Amino acid sequence: MTKDETGSGYRFEIVETKSCEHFVRFKAANGEPMVQSEAYASKASAKNCIESVKKNAPAAPVEDETVTV
């Protein structure tokens, strides 16, 4: 979605910074951001990030790096 589009449900957003970099936000159905990517020099790279997450995330392991006391 672009900043001018509206919608509900889980979604990816590509955001352009003032310095013309791009990053990806993944938002929950309630509109709250859940995950944000690193900054990319091009919009195409941000789109590649989205495609990679869609393709690879379902099989990715969860690594809990918190310390349990």
What is the residue extent of each domain of the chain?
Answer: 1-51
Residues in contact with 12: Cβ distance below 8 Å, sequence separation at least 6, in sequence order:
1, 24, 25, 26, 27, 50, 53
Q: Which of 13, 12, 17, 18 lies closest to 54, judged by CA?
A: 12
What are the pLDDT digits (tens) for 39-68? Answer: 999 999 999 999 999 999 999 999 999 987
Quick check: 6 pLDDT over 90?
no
Report pLDDT for 66: 94
Q: Are 40 and 23 in contact (CB under 8 A)?
A: yes
Q: What angle do CA 40, 41, 42 make, to 5 degrees?
A: 95
Report pLDDT for 61: 96
Q: What is the CATH number of domain 1-51?
A: 3.30.160.160
Tokens of 14: 């590509």
